[in-house]
Structure 1
Amino acid sequence: MAEDTTVIGILGGTGALGSGLGFRLARAKYRVLIGSRDIERARQAASELASGSDGPNLVGASNVDVAQQADLVIVAVPFIDRDKVLKEVHSYLKGKVVVDATVPLQPPKVSVVHLRPAGSGAEEMQLLLGSDVKVVSAFQNVAAAKLKTTNLIDCDVLVCGDDKDVKERVISLIERMGMAGLDAGVLANSVVAEALTSVLIGINRRYKTEAGIRITGIARTEK
């Protein structure tokens, strides 16, 4: 696979989901910036991921530097910290695509669905960042542990957003990572993907598995 020159930044790249996405993106030959408020932690995480991903293009940096230098930004911080982090980096996100991978869980009952006042967390992100930023949602229903393997991931990634071209760009990125991305409609539909995460958490606890979702009836080429 040829290297892609797009620089992908991950805010919260040291967490389970963020580091898993970084691992997959590096294997897909993207240049990846692993972001954290603690730059030393970010550098350590990037070094550890690089050693197992066959992808040398992993760099640890502050969240601010990630937002400034990346062409596309994935937000994978805990939801409780999300808005604070976004306010710190807002000025560097103008004109960019931002992928919301967060889920508005409410501990301790994370297996119970909680709806946001704006409908979805992704819509709230769009309102916070403004029209100069293209927000899409994705990756909410992928088990983080599966991302850090080289195995095929047998679940679909729902991509919601209001700009078709931006969604197609994110879907292409997902496919390059070895997963199936599906256009799930407008950003408002993110509420469904976010809610499914709580449902999946409950299923995974009860059945002791790492379940995802799979949309049937769609012709696809397995990676």
Structure 2
Amino acid sequence: MTEPIDPTTLTVGVLGGTGAQGKGLALRWAKAGIRVIIGSRAAERAEASAAEYRRLTGTEHITGADNATCAGEADVVLAAVPWESHADTLTGLVELLRGKILIDCVNPLGFDKKGPYPLPVEEGSVAQQAEQLLPETRVTAAFHNVSAVLLSDLDQAEVDCDVLVLGDDREATDVVRALADAIPGVRGVFAGRLRNAYQVECLTANLIAINRRYKVHAGVKIVWPEEH
């Protein structure tokens, strides 16, 4: 019987922690007792955001640093950077991310007058691009489809959605599922190998369209019979 994973023993680095998705996840993890390092290209900007997050959460275990320090000091690293800077950001962190778990939550989306749409990714998916750039990193994909608005609204006690977790390393995906489960209302669900990440990344375009039409913050729920 595998011992349950205690996410509060981990330090999570958030690359792009000054953006909406990174902020929301950092706030929720800090509230759950997990140490968080906010990463940004500029250490001053990261620390300014960390100070704001400490105030919002009433905790002290959120710090800010440049991306290299963030990646070097964290046990698990979340990539929540813009798609346009994804490759450049990770390329500069190859050695620092060696052997660590990377959670990629980047969505390759474009926007025009018709709304959001998925962009092609030469490697197959954003997560597979990360895998190619970081051959000795335990790359996973998750947290693409959870609303940044709901995550950041700490007046919402729970965020009612599932997080689809993909990856080829079973132990790594179990850690990521535990980090999802640490957020009240959220459940981490294993959703396949990393090669299946593209459709999960692109599903965010559909959710944005739903949100705009119905004025909601839609997420994903997986339903199965109770006996399972």
Which bracket does the TM-score occupy, shorter chain normalised?
A: over 0.9
- How far 1:115 moved relative to its partner? 3.4
- How far 1:75 moved relative to its partner? 0.3
Distance in 2 of aligned mates of 1:61 and 1:218 = 45
Alignment-derived partner of residue 129 in structure 1:
134
User: SS of the residue aligned with 2:166?
Assistant: strand
- How far 1:165 moved relative to its partner? 1.3
For residues 3-42 of structure 1, what are the structure 2 equivalents within 5 Å?
Answer: 4-42=8-46
Alignment-derived partner of residue 212 in structure 1:
219
Q: 1:116 aligns with which of 111, 121, 131?
A: 121
* Alignment of 1:196 onto 2:203: yes
Deviation digits for residues 155-175 of structure 1 (CA, Å, limit 9, x no counterpart) = 110000011111111101110
- Name the amino acid aligned to 1:199: N
For residues 60-209 of structure 1, what are the structure 2 equivalents within 5 Å?
Answer: 60-108=64-112, 111-130=116-135, 132-150=136-154, 151-178=157-184, 179-209=186-216
Gaps of 5+ in 2: 1-5
Greater CA deviation, 78-87 or 3-12?
3-12
Deviation digits for residues 102-145 of structure 1 (CA, Å, limit 9, x no counterpart) = 11112336522333222211111101111x10100000001101
Gaps of 5+ in 1: none
- Asked if 1 retains the 8 angstrom alpha-carbon contact of 2:7 and 2:182, the reply is no
Greater CA deviation, 179-188 or 111-120?
111-120
Number of positions where the alignment pairs a residue of Structure 1 with one of Structure 2: 218
Instruction: Tell me the C-alpha RMSD between the 2 structures.
Output: 1.7
Question: Structure 1 residue runs of 4+, over 6 Å off?
Answer: none
User: SS of the residue aligned with 2:117?
Assistant: coil
- How far 1:218 moved relative to its partner? 5.5
Greater CA deviation, 172-181 or 8-17?
172-181
How has the CA–CA distance of structure 1 residues 174 and 17 changed in structure 2, closer, same or farther, with 3 Å as cutoff? same
How has the CA–CA distance of structure 1 residues 3 and 114 changed in structure 2, closer, same or farther, with 3 Å as cutoff? closer
Distance in 2 of aligned mates of 1:105 and 1:168 = 27
Q: Structure 1 vs Structure 2: percent identity of aligned residues?
A: 39
TM-score, normalised relative to structure 1: 0.93
Distance in 1 of aligned mates of 2:72 and 2:140 = 19
Deviation digits for residues 184-211 of structure 1 (CA, Å, limit 9, x no counterpart) = 0100111121111011111111111111
- How far 1:27 moved relative to its partner? 0.5
Distance in 2 of aligned mates of 1:193 and 1:121 = 10
* Alignment of 1:52 onto 2:59: no
TM-score, normalised relative to structure 2: 0.91
